Structure 1
């Protein structure tokens, strides 16, 4: 690391931890915890100071014991706390603390389940382990950990490793060690003799392999569990797998357990490395900060990520759970065994694009789904001047928290998928295996991954990939036709319009993935054609169908002439089209994104959508719906355009509803179920009279009788939104009452990370009332102080800031900027990147309205006249 700020922030390396004995006593009755920590240190250089991380802890009885022929026990001459840097400087380490179990969603915190059941769990990533115990809280400084938990005897203790022993505390048993002695002293100091309160127990867990502090985990509560197992295809060993939750949730963990049982052996085969721990648990918590966490041996996450009613056939919810579970299981290798040296290489953990779901659930066709779940989000996140490279300097904790975004997750995954397609999946996975084996239980940087894939593939990976991860942005490929073929030019794509020279210096190595069609109608995809300069000419017969970026594997936009786009669209609409589902998804998304940025007209994107009205595939329709709803969102204050877009939605989706109906069957394929749901949602968002009336009738029946059988789980969201929108105050009150009665996992179904692995919520809200798009910013302004305190230091606050991006006028931009710059004298450093991106998004939407309003009005008017 080169910057002085980064050097100042990072801990000195003259003293490193090698092993930590952590003892935590949890008192759920009083919301308190305390404990002792013994840390073995390797002193690399003589020093008079020892520096480690701590935040919000009270330390006492600090002592250093030296080893050797003459061992000494020393107390520190001074203890200096730096609250800003979250560290402590003293002559020697040694630890003791008592603290409160808060609801901060980080460190060691409390959650509340059904029937007000209180329990406690940890969330340490990225820099919150120091809030639970003093430590060397950096990913490079790996150590082994031995965790001991002291708790009420009627609760369950969990940690990364299996339980070695568990005993009821008995001060008269005659078996004393440091833990028993310490507990006796604590209880005595509190005036509690044995038998005067609930019994305590001491749970000792096995010693862990070397790991970073952010992966340490423990939990205490009245948990129940479901149990399964898997047999390693590499060694034949059978390992237990458990899914833990509170009593009200545990039966809903069966599907998550099923996914885990099948994912583990597949990942062992993919990486050619056996899972190294004796067990792997999953814990579902009612209160969790966006998504899930890959704690080694104890995955944790929100109930919305893991809980599913055993009788539910909701395909989208199953996909969300499977995606999250598989992502966290993959981390057991890609991040936990081999960990990035520092947070600037976070994508080495989060950008893993190897997913086992396609093998577990082939009927879901998840390869094309990657485009809507990651590829699109990567493009949208990286198309502005306020974006940042995937590999980004992180000099302090404030910056570290901000990089858990779509660039570290979705862009990283997308460029790795692009590399995999270019070199071939088999060679790519072989290279990943080489990389992991060379850095088992150690740390890595970007070049280590590139070297592994280079060895397996024989290509110069750094030369191809460095600009994709070290530079900001991605290219737009402008395609011009000539008598001999095509001429392709690359420039940086920006949502604000064509890049100025100062912002257009990067030349990417772009796999063009050129699709052509032979005389016998066979499709050929040339993956060897690469654009590694500003522009080049390619010979081809343009009279036959062709397309760049076949399969939408390269992270770029492709700009065709309007005439070529129409030809490609007509070819894509044919039943015998040479263009895949992935191609059609990419065509639609490129057309709208290019119009948003001013490279082309919105009317061209709308015309392409009109051509594809007989499209059979759910994923293409999903992308069409998202982009039309984006138009409605941007122009929500323009009643005329809003009405036109809604009419177009109704026109496109109502025929699908007529074909597919409202009833779900266990015999339906996954695509049929999802397309039915999407069609009903799309038609309802367009206020289709027939669909709205049907949904209102089903809701009315539910209100009259209490019978919800006419509202399948897939239609709950749309039925209640329509009822609120169309039914007035009474329906709104009913919806509010229902929301309060729902389990937390139901209320949060759309608010989990991509993968969260993935990132911001991506499912919910697309049917919301227009006013809902500005309610979150309005409420944020009113409640800033409380929200800032409530979410201080965690990820959720940044997503609240990002909600302002739904605004669309210059006035909105000015008011938002002024609010954050001046009002309440806010410290915006902790979310500056997200704020900058949000403000730029508002400007982009405002510019789009000014530029394209007349074009959209003209297209709808001419279409109306033609009908």
Structure 2
């Protein structure tokens, strides 16, 4: 197992990768599903190329599957049959089929294996999911195979490099619906007396004769990796439309499937799909290769031709406007559709090259009012920088041959940092050239596999630049640079060093010299703004001539993945300029500035008071366009400080007073209602202001939100639970209420009026201040919560100071049960962050370290290292900033009283 991701040489890749003496070419896969007994089974017939002489075949298979008879046919030779195929390596998920006569190199063969199993309940492999119809629990079944769980549904070569075509046949109860990657070629009710393929007849003979079954045969797929195979069976309904594609002129049908109770909420997702798919065909300059695109609104995964996702990723109640829900649907669906090209047509050779998150390009065209480029700074850039500032971080490309370790690297670094690095590159070379390079790359590897160097080659061909040289360190090295700016008589002198959030890097940690696009913004004598895109810091230190008597700033528009440290005097000037109505600094500049200052204070490179000085300067600025994003950045930064000082009442009281002073005037000006047709900027600002006021515990805002919740629980009328305030209303009800509010939120969780209510209530219910109710919630999590909801419950509890240490103890006390419950998926790493990431004392650190000392941490070693480092950094942060923060708050309080 690759349990030591840092510092040690990788194990031999041969141990963890399947032998290539035999290669799959085509799978004929038949799957039967019984949603009453919750069983499934099937037969897979795999056409093989015998590359080298073989007397055994090794492929992937989970020990969840009960394997039956296996047989091998080779170029018309007599079949060699066996009673069973045996799992030979449980850890690596492998089965070996042996036969007495060697298969000659250069021949064709076909391997057949039948199998059966119970549907999993763990959100991976082929698994069951429950829904309610008229108060009764019913089930549907669907797949989630990324990265290595196709083997849990059928024996296969479960590696992205080993692409093959697939023909899938599904057998199910006749009243249910079958969907898969491709359109149905035919569908018919099963008649035992009709003539069928011998294998199919034999397979179906094992099914109950008292049930009417139907058979759905799907068209053959293009060559694809096993993790992209998808199928689902259930009582689904759908809405549909069609789009004419711009390159091919083909009409492509689009469907969104959901359970009957949710089908009325898929309209927005269907609209997004219809707008996004043709745009991507134009952007990539490659025809969409499949005859249809379906989406199943139930875990998000970019299966080719059949996108799947949780309800709250695809459903929007048309009667309950919720801007967060609309943005979530747009972002998720645009991202998954992008993978129809980048990832599905061209697939990475191995899991160490997970890339591309270019939905911002498409969403900017479809929803310009969302300003997704600014949202990207909060959702991706800052999040990636926060995690990558730790010694326990990892490069975008993590060399780890063991597929069992892959789930650990599905994190903000593999996605958000990668997306941010590509955004930085796109800005540097120009978006048009960047996308031309992506298109060149995809066309060179159609239906094949690739490595990162192939992408750089494509963009190099489009730009004429050596992109590999420019970009290699950004994806292969850990961390990112801090750019320190000092002013000289002729301009500025800049220096790069690795940024760490708790101490200066040592010599070994500070070896990397990145190629940093500085994006220097300057202003000429006529007031014209100029951004120098040619300024590259490609060595440790360098000087640049600019007029420092005028405004300037590095990392214009916050396009680069780095922090910038100015002198206190220059920071004050930039902050003051940013607060003016006609500032040369954009919204994205201001967002980047506040996040940088917050991070620099975390690292001890600037006094914490400097963060609050900037915030205080900006508090009275005019209501400019998209002001809410600046306020969101402010709220996020103050909240980080508030979480660190959760056990210091004097400081938390002072911080909450500051928060009230910042946000309550906005609430008083904007109110609580969201009239139809209102500008999105005002909607977002109001939502942010109310959220800030709740965080500050303003009595008037708390009373208003409590009243709305009470009215809903008494009357059932949710008209005053505005979708855009739903989360804050639920949190307020839990935090300032008691038993009645707790029970009401549990009721919402178990029977939500719309999909967005459930996750909002799950995260909110943990805000209760009653310790006994917290303990009751722990029992609920263990016995009643769905697997996919448990982490959401824990995230809500983590945000509650009353519950924070109780949550850590809950995880420790129930470690064995939780470890067993989530044994087949990657959830444990999220529990580690949620249950221990909020702690802040040396005693906490010692307790966590001691608890895990004798545990097998191989499934979550990275998350544990990051959680421990977070606690250690918070201890140092509190010790370093307490006096400075106390002094600033005292001074601010005196100024406020004057």
Q: What TM-score range do you get, normalising by the shorter chain?
A: over 0.9
Structure 2 residue 788 is matched with structure 1 residue 780 = no
Alignment partners' CA distance in 1, 2:630 and 2:810: 35
* Alignment pair present for 1:621 and 2:644: no
Aligned partner of 2:758 in structure 1 is: 747
Q: Is 1:854 paired with 2:883?
A: yes
Go from structure 1 to structure 2 and tell me whether the alpha carbon gap of 1:398 and 1:835 turns closer, same or farther (over 3 Å shift): farther
User: What residue number does 1:756 align with?
Assistant: none
| Contact 2:797-2:807 within 8 A present in 1 as well | no
Q: CA deviation at 1:378?
A: 0.9
Q: 2:615 aligns with which of 601, 609, 634?
A: 609
Cα–Cα, structure 1 residues 761 and 103, in superposed 2: closer, same or farther, change >3 Å?
A: closer
Assess, with a 3 A threshold, how the Cα gap between structure 1 residues 811 and 75 changes in structure 2: closer, same or farther.
Answer: same
Aligned to 1:36: 43
Task: Give 1:770's aligned residue.
Answer: 801
Q: CA deviation at 1:4?
A: 4.1
* Deviation at residue 684 of structure 1 after TM alignment: 1.3
Deviation for aligned residue 1:353: 5.8
Of 116, 121, 127, the match for 2:148: 127
Find the counterpart in structure 2 of residue 757 from structure 1: none
Given candidates 840, 861, 871, the residue that maps to 1:832 is: 861
- Residue from 490, 498, 508 that aligns with 1:502: 508
Q: How far has the Cα of 1:171 moved from its partner?
A: 1.7
Q: Is the 8 A contact 1:28 1:118 kept in 2?
A: yes
1:381 aligns with 2:387: yes
Partner of 2:18: 11
Distance 1:579 1:139, change over 3 A: same
Q: Go from structure 1 to structure 2 and tell me whether the alpha carbon gap of 1:4 and 1:47 turns closer, same or farther (over 3 Å shift).
A: farther
Secondary structure at the residue paired with 2:55? Answer: coil
Give the alignment of 1:533-548 within 5 angstroms: 533-548=539-554
SS at match of 1:367: helix
1:476–1:589 Cα change, 3 Å = same
Change (3 A) 1:426 1:206: same
Q: Shift of the alpha carbon at 1:361?
A: 0.6
For normalisation by structure 1, the TM-score amounts to 0.94
CA contact (8 A) 2:748 2:757 kept: no
Please say if 1:460 is aligned against 2:476: no
Partner-residue secondary structure (3-state), 2:129: strand
Partner of residue 107, structure 1: 125
Distance 1:767 1:383 in 2: 22
**Corresponding residue for residue 755 of structure 1:** none
Of 815, 833, 837, the residue aligned with 2:847 is: 815
CA distance in 1, matches of 2:161, 2:629: 41
Following the alignment from structure 2 to structure 1, what is the Cα–Cα distance between the partners of residues 742 and 89?
50
SS of 2:254's equivalent in the other structure is: strand
Match of 1:140 among 158, 161, 178: 161
The alpha-carbon distance between structure 1 residues 751 and 54, as it changes in their structure 2 partners (threshold 3 A), is farther
Write the distance in 2 (CA, Å) between the matches of 1:569 and 1:673. Answer: 26
Structure-to-structure mapping, 1:295-444, within 5 angstroms: 295-347=303-355, 350-352=356-358, 355-444=361-450
SS state of the match for residue 220, structure 2? coil
Q: Which runs of 5+ in 2 are unaligned?
A: 3-8, 100-110, 764-790
Aligned partners of 2:193, 2:744: CA distance in 1, in Å?
A: 59
1:761 to 1:541, Cα distance in 2 relative to 1, 3 A: farther
Maintained 8 Å contact 1:353/1:413: no
Q: Secondary structure at the match of 2:206?
A: helix
* Cα separation, 2, equivalents of 1:767 and 1:640: 21
Alpha-carbon contact 1:334-1:352 (below 8 Å) kept: no
Give the conservation status (yes or no) of the 8 Å contact 2:245–2:281. Answer: yes
TM-fit CA distance, 1:497: 1.9
Q: Which residue of 2 aligns with 1:180?
A: 200
Alignment partner for residue 235 of structure 2, among 206, 217, 222?
A: 222
CA contact (8 A) 1:326 1:355 kept: no
SS at structure 2 position matched to 1:313: coil
Judged with a 3 Å threshold, the aligned counterparts in structure 2 of structure 1 residues 310 and 675 are, in CA distance, closer, same or farther, namely same
Structure-2 separation of matches of 1:9 and 1:478: 44
Quote the offset at 1:570 in angstroms. 0.2
Alignment gaps of 5+ in structure 1: 753-759
2:437 and 2:463 in contact (8 A); partners too: yes
- Secondary structure of the residue aligned to 1:789 is helix
2:186 partner SS: strand
SS at match of 1:25: strand
Structure 2 vs 1, CA of residues 775 and 664 (structure 1 numbering), >3 Å: closer, same or farther? farther
The answer to whether the 8 Å contact 2:335/2:357 transfers is no
**Aligned residue for 2:244?**
231
Distance across 2 between alignment mates of 1:447 and 1:277: 27
- Does 1:665 find its partner at 2:636? no
Alpha-carbon distance change, 226 to 248 in structure 1, aligned in 2, over 3 angstroms: same
Give the whole-Å Cα distance in 2 for the aligned partners of 1:596 and 1:476: 13
Structure 2 CA distance for partners of 1:209 and 1:723, relative to 1, 3 Å:
same
- For the residue of structure 2 that corresponds to 1:40, the secondary structure is strand
Which of 174, 183, 187 does residue 162 from structure 1 map onto?
Answer: 183
- Kept in 1, the 8 Å contact 2:170–2:178? The answer is yes
1:23 aligns with 2:40: no
Compared CA separation, residues 111 and 537, structure 1 to 2 (3 A): same
Indicate how the Cα distance of structure 1 residues 678 and 761 shifts in structure 2: closer, same or farther if over 3 A, else same.
farther
Q: 1:96 aligns with which of 107, 110, 114?
A: 114
Give distance in 2, aligned partners of 1:549 and 1:623. Answer: 17
Cα deviations by residue, 1:754-812 (Å, 9 ceiling, x for unpaired): xxxxxx98998599543244454333223222221222232322111111111111111
TM-score, normalised on structure 2? 0.91
Aligned Cα root-mean-square deviation (Å): 2.0
Cα distance in 2 for residues equivalent to 1:767 and 1:361: 34
Structure 1 residues 767 and 278: CA distance shift in structure 2, 3 A: same
Q: C-alpha deviations, 1:408-458, integer Å up to 9, x for none?
A: 100000000000000000000000000001101000001100000011011
Q: Is the 8 A contact 2:759 2:792 kept in 1?
A: no
Q: How does 1:552-571 map to 2 (within 5 A)?
A: 552-571=558-577
Q: Which residue of 2 aligns with 1:721?
A: 731
Deviations along 1:571-592, one digit per CA (max 9) or x if unpaired, are 0000100001110000000001
How far, CA to CA, are the matches of 2:308 and 2:406 in structure 1? 21
Residue in 2 aligned with 1:248?
261
Structure 1 pair 751/214, CA: closer, same or farther in 2 (3 Å)? farther
Separation in 1, partners of 2:793, 2:273: 23
By how many angstroms is 1:607 displaced?
0.5
Q: Find the aligned partners of 1:605 and 1:844 in 2 and give their Cα distance.
A: 18
From 805, 809, 831, the counterpart of 1:800: 831
Deviation at 1:749, TM superposition (A): 5.3
Is the partner of 2:483 in helix, strand or coil? strand
Contact 1:304 1:746 in 2 (8 A): no
- Separation in 1 of the partners of 2:434 and 2:531? 19
Query: CA separation of 1:425/1:122 partners in 2, compared to 1, >3 Å: closer, same or farther?
Result: same
Is the 8 Å Cα contact of residues 184 and 218 (structure 2) preserved in structure 1? yes
Deviation string, structure 1 residues 319-363 (Cα, Å, up to 9, x no partner): 01100000000000010000000001122xx54465411111111
* 1:861 counterpart SS class: helix
CA distance in 2, matches of 1:696, 1:111: 34
Offset of residue 80 of structure 1: 5.1
Give the superposition deviation at 1:846: 1.2
> What does residue 172 of structure 2 align with?
151
Corresponding residue pairs, total: 840
The one of 599, 619, 626 equivalent to 1:593 is: 599
Higher alpha-carbon deviation: 413-422 or 80-89: 80-89
d(CA) in 2 for partners of 1:851, 1:138:
48
Secondary structure of 2:68 counterpart? coil
Q: Is the contact between residue 797 and residue 803 of structure 2 (CA under 8 Å) also seen in structure 1?
A: no
Contact in 2 for aligned 1:351/1:411 (Cα 8 Å): no
The alignment partner of 1:344 has SS state of coil
Paired residues of 1:229 and 1:241 also in contact (CA < 8 A): yes
Find the aligned partners of 1:361 and 1:788 in 2 and give their Cα distance: 42
